[in-house]
Amino acid sequence: MDIRHFIGIDVSKNTLDWAVYANKGIIWQIQSENSP
């Protein structure tokens, strides 16, 4: 089985940073507010 994509989430006090990585680097990235 080849793993081709990784999902990363960075949680901080004010924001959530989301990214999808593939073999060639970041293919999608977004930042959202960290609120309920």
pTM: 0.67
- pLDDT at position 18 is 96
Helices and strands per DSSP (H, E), number in the chain: 0, 3
Structural domain tally of the chain?
A: 1
Domain that holds residue 2: 1-35
* pLDDT tens-place values along the chain, 36 residues long: 777 889 999 999 999 999 999 988 899 999 999 998
Nearest to 28 by CA among 15, 17, 36: 17
- pLDDT at position 23 is 84
In sequence order, the β-bridge partners of residue 17 are 10, 31
